[in-house]
Amino acid sequence: MAKERKCLEIIGIVQGVGFRPFIYRLAKRHNLKGFVLNNTKGVIVELEGEGAQIEEVISKIKENPPPLAQIEKIECESLPVLEYRDFEIRISRKTEEKNTLVSPDIATCEKCKIELLNPDDRRYHYPFINCINCGPRFTIIRELPYDRKNTTMAKFKMCEDCRLEYDDPANRRFHAQPDACPVCGPEVKLVDRTARVIKGEPISKTIELLGEGKIVAIKGLGGFHLACNAKDKAAVSLLREKKGRPSKPLALMAGDVEVVRKYAYLSKKEEELLSSSRSPILLLSKREGNTLPEEIAPGNRYIGFMLPYTPLHILLFQDPKEAEVLVMTSGNKIGEPIIIKNMEAIRVLGGIADYFLLHNRDIRIPSDDSVVAIFEDRPIMIRRSRGYVPEPIKCPVHTKKNILGCGAHLKNTFSLARGNEIFTSHHIGDLGTPKSMEAYERGIKHFESLFDIHPEVIVVDRHPEYLSTKFGEKWANANDRPLMRVQHHHAHIASCLVDNDIDKEVIGIAWDGTGFGEDGAIWGGEFLIADFKSYQRKAHLEYIPLPGGEKAVKEPWRMATTYLYYTMGEDFLDLDIELIGRLDLKKWEMLKAMIDRKINAPLTSSAGRLFDAVSSLLDLRDRITYLGQAAIELEMIIEDDGKANFYNFKLRKEDGIYIINAIPVIRSIIDDLIHRIPPSVISARFHKGLIEMIADITLRLRDDTGITDVALSGGVFQNRFLLQGATKRLIKEGFRVYTHHNIPSNDGGISVGQVAIAANVIP
Ligand code: ZN
Ligand code: ZN
Ligand code: FE
């Protein structure tokens, strides 16, 4: 029998997922010699022995890799026999090109959970138990390759017992970089606002305090949470008041699926995702008659639940009589990024939290909880962060240069692209505060060095005032790199194409609140013919003033009165509807002056603002406290009477562009209000009117262009009634409809669209 020697280079998510021990065991079993090692590109394996055995090992690697591994490519080369004596795991070496993918953070696995709760285990109740199949990854990695010394675990020296496990290829903790135990690893401590340590076992004490109605800031995996007992109405109200967050839904955590089921309806798919290793916040339908206070998610049909995804979280639910469900909202000041450092938490959150459950495993990079919904058995990503980031997104366009997409201004993410991979960042959020900008710039630097992608082209939004635009301009200038500006809604549609892995021309329907248009107006109710190369604007909602600019976004009554004024002049003040009763006439006079004199009243075609106007007209919301609130509340009250009643828009064509006029819709709504038609029905008619209008325009555009593929994007399509209605209606008309699943349709997806468009354009 002739010996052979083969060298394999395996690329993909292959580090930190138990790959080397897996290879080691395989090689031993098949009596092969050689070695396995991690390098910055992936995993290198040399196998020497009988040819048939080598082939069998290779096919086993391909067919049955470790559960968390994702192999992208295996390169195989035959080499002269070297007569290796044994098979061994070698120490990592650096190579010039970094190509390894970093694994997202992984929720605690079943095996670790069993050990955690087993009084005989040496890690019983140890809040940092983990293994090769679970635990922190992205949030603790400083640089590649993924070795302990390159993580925030470097400062903990392993004890003898941990070292033995770490070195034993047969052990589940073999080369598990964050491995630790109560003897050698990180620890928790509970302190008050003055950083004074509270006596007693920190986690049991925390459970007790939560049970008493206290607010505790808890350091987790990707940052701090603010926690309180969700069943304690007073505690929830107090948390809302102190955080200055009056009505935006609060995320919840419950011990297990059965507890969640008491408060929300769960389908099979929802249960699966909720308990998966990604462990996102899942938006679920509230169970009728559930006993949670309305304050958790006022005016909303959905409620966001997650399960404990770290051992520390699991331990918080060991005494469910104290608090069966916890509010777990991001530990930050409104508008600022989530806090990751102990002292900063005490300083910044001291006005909100009574106590702080801290630990000394540092978080290298923040990562908020991801938010997902399941809709018609498929995920809809709302916020893509922990558990998903930094997994690359496959781009249908191959880029020849490295690209940085700077993203939007709110719900910001940035993206780095190389080849056909897009590395989209964790959720950065609203860039409006200096701290957010700091986190944004730090994040970009970290991604740059982690993935070794140094941008050669910078892409920004066309909006001149976005801080991401200003950052990109400065960066391009300082580094002498070309800058590209991409229109906001074009980027939305491109992100939807990437999400569906297609590269073709579509009718793109991009509806959102705000996006800077080519003509300087604020767009947001757009129909484009678009591909990655270019776009043409083919239809949009008719322009209407946005009196007060940003203020009109926060105060939907401004849009309601503007639409009323456009519908019937000042006669609307005599209408017998509630809005007029509560209207401050002085304020209206000011608004009217802005509109008439065109001062601080930019024009907008925003669909989001039309939703706002209707929401205020139906007495739902005159002032919002979080983005999209008025529109969300309008969707939530819908009661579809099943009748085909819907409101009609008026259409005209100007210079080849359809202008969609909403005045007849407003007129019908006034009419229905006067006839005391319930708001729930008016809302349904309004939504159905939008769906019919979408179908009408899309059919016309198909006649004009022959295009039969439609992409729906923009934050408005998080509205499930609209999404479902429009999709069904368009499919009935014979269209292929593409919607979002893994990339948010909101501005969190903008950076993805930006880099895909640039990838197509650059030579
Ligand atoms: Zn584990
Ligand atoms: Zn140890
Ligand atoms: Fe947008």
Domains of the chain: which residue ranges?
A: 3-89, 108-158+176-389, 392-486+748-761, 546-706
Task: Name residue, tokens 């980031």.
Answer: 389
Q: Rounded distance, CA 220 to CA 330, Å?
A: 10
- With bands split at pLDDT 50, 70 and 90, how would you rate the model's confidence at 140? very high
Residue 282, helix vs strand vs coil: strand
Nearest to 408 by CA among 458, 364, 468, 455: 468
| Inter-helix orientation angle 585-597/556-568, to 10° | 70
pTM of the full predicted structure? 0.92
Ligand (nearest to CA of 165) = 2
* Strand pairing class (483-486; 457-461): parallel
CA end-to-end span of the chain, whole Å? 53
Is it the case that residue 99 has pLDDT exceeding 80? no
Fold type of domain 3-89 = Alpha-Beta Plaits (3.30.70)
pLDDT-based confidence at 320, cuts 50/70/90?
Answer: confident
Tens digit of pLDDT for each residue in 660-687? 999 999 999 999 999 999 999 999 999 9
- Residue 284 banded pLDDT, cuts 50, 70, 90: very high
Q: Which two tokens stand for residue 505?
A: 């021309």
pLDDT score at 97: 46
Beta 736-738 vs 709-713: how paired, if at all? parallel
> What residues have CB less than 8 Å from 215, skipping those under 6 apart?
226, 227, 228, 235, 238, 239, 242, 352, 353, 354, 355
Q: Which ligand is nearest to the CA of 113?
A: 1
Question: Distance, CA 6 to ligand 3 centroid (Å)?
Answer: 51
Q: Name the token pair of 196.
A: 């004074």
Mean pLDDT of the chain: 95
The tens digit of pLDDT for each residue in 682-721 reads 999 999 999 999 999 999 999 999 999 999 999 999 999 9
Query: Is the separation of the CB atoms in 7 and 45 below 8 Å?
Result: yes
Q: What stretches of 517-667 adopt beta strand conformation (E)? A: 522-530, 535-541, 544-545, 603-604, 650-654, 657-661
**Rounded Cα distance, 227 and 357, in Å:** 10
What is the whole-number distance in angstroms between the Cα of residue 216 and the centre of ligand 1? 27
Judge whether residue 496 has pLDDT over 50. yes
Beta strand pairing call for 216-219 and 70-79: unpaired
Res 100: pLDDT:
67
Mean pLDDT lowest among 77-91, 260-274, 422-436, 475-489:
77-91
65 alpha carbon to ligand 2 midpoint, in Å? Answer: 28
Would you state the pLDDT for residue 16? 75
Strand ordering across the sheet containing 457-461: 415-424, 393-405, 457-461, 483-486
CATH code of the domain occupying 392-486+748-761:
3.30.420.360
Q: For residue 38, what pLDDT is reported?
A: 85
Q: What does the block give as tokens for 255?
A: 């011990």
Is 668 within 8 Å of 688 (Cβ atoms)? no
Please give the average per-residue pLDDT across 464-478, as a whole number.
97
Beta bridge partners of 306: 253
Q: Of the ligands numbered here, which is closest to the C-alpha atom of 134?
A: 1
Residues lying with their CB under 5 A of ligand 1, a single-atom ion: 109, 112, 131, 133-134
Q: For residue 123, which ligand has an atom nearest its CA? A: 2
Q: What are the DSSP E strand ranges found in 197-299? A: 216-219, 224-229, 252-254, 281-285
> In this predicted structure, which of 331-340, 610-619, 634-643, 720-729 has the lowest mean pLDDT?
634-643
User: CB of 249 within 8 A of CB of 303?
Assistant: yes
| Cα 157 to ligand 2 centre (Å) | 8
Task: Report how far ligand 2's centroid is from the alpha carbon of 629 (Å).
Answer: 49
Distance 591 CA to ligand 1 centre (A): 60
Give the integer Cα–Cα distance in Å for 309 and 279.
6
Residue 174 Cα to ligand 1 midpoint, Å, equals: 12
Continuous segment of H or E residues that includes residue 582: helix 578-582
C-alpha of residue 135 to centroid of ligand 1, in Å: 7
The predicted pLDDT at position 94 comes to: 57
Contact between 509 and 763 under an 8 Å Cβ cutoff? The reply is: no
Nearest CA to 86 out of 44, 139, 143, 27 is that of: 27
- Which of 598-608 are b and which e, b meaning 16 or more Cβ less than 10 Å from the residue's Cβ? eebbebbbbbb
Beta strand pairing status for 371-375 and 281-285? Answer: parallel
The residue whose two tokens read 């991009």 is 510
Which tens digit of pLDDT belongs to each residue from 295-305?
999 999 999 99
Q: Which listed ligand is nearest to 495 at the C-alpha?
A: 3
Q: Is the separation of the CB atoms in 757 and 722 below 8 Å?
A: no
Length of the chain in residues, anyone?
763
* Equal CATH topology for 392-486+748-761 and 546-706: yes
Q: Where does residue 321 rank: exposed (0-12), middle (13-18), buried (19+ CB within 10 A)?
A: exposed
The confidence score (pLDDT) of residue 92 equals: 67
Indicate the pLDDT class of residue 93, thresholds 50, 70 and 90.
Answer: low
For ligand 2, an ion, list residues with CB under 5 A: 159, 162, 181, 183-184
Q: Are strands 216-219 and 355-359 parallel, antiparallel or unpaired?
A: parallel
- CA 161 vs CA 21, 171, 176, 182, 560: distances in Å: 18, 12, 14, 11, 68
- pLDDT tier for residue 406 given thresholds of 50, 70 and 90: very high
Residue 539 has pLDDT above 80, yes or no: yes
**CB of 541 closer than 8 Å to CB of 611:** no
- Whether the Cβ atoms of residue 206 and residue 187 lie closer than 8 Å to each other: no
Taking residue 64's Cβ as centre, other Cβ atoms within 10 Å add up to: 10
Smallest-distance ligand from the CA of 176: 1
Decide: helix, strand or coil at residue 720: helix
Distance from Cα 181 to the centre of ligand 1, integer Å? 13
Q: Which helix (H) or strand (E) holds 508?
A: strand 506-516
How far out from the chain centre does Cα 622 lie?
Answer: 28
Give the ligand at the shortest distance from the Cα of 107: 1
Ligand number, closest to the Cα atom of 490: 3
Which residue carries 């009419």 as its tokens? 671
Distance 160 CA to ligand 2 centre (A): 7
Report which DSSP code applies to 513: E
Retrieve residue 346's tokens. Answer: 């005490």
Ligand number nearest CA of 409 is: 3
CA 224–ligand 2 middle distance (angstroms): 25
- Confidence check: pLDDT of 261 > 90: yes
Q: Using CA atoms, how far apart are residues 714 and 743, in angstroms rounded to an integer?
A: 11
What is the CA(285)–ligand 3 centre distance, in A? 26
Distance 165 CA to ligand 2 centre (A): 9
Superfamily covering domain 546-706: ATPase, nucleotide binding domain (3.30.420.40)
CA of 159 to the centre of ligand 2 (A): 4
310 alpha carbon – ligand 1 mean position (Å): 10
Q: Relative to the alpha carbon of 129, which ligand is closest?
A: 1
The answer to whether 594 touches 551, Cβ cutoff 8 Å, is: no
Tell me the CA–centroid distance for residue 281 and ligand 1, in Å: 21
Q: Which ligand is nearest to the CA of 166?
A: 2
The DSSP symbol for 350 reads T
Mean pLDDT check: name the lowest of 68-72, 279-283, 476-480: 68-72
Give 445: exposed, middle or buried? Use CB within 10 Å, 0-12, 13-18, 19+: exposed
Q: What is the CATH number of domain 108-158+176-389?
A: 3.90.870.30
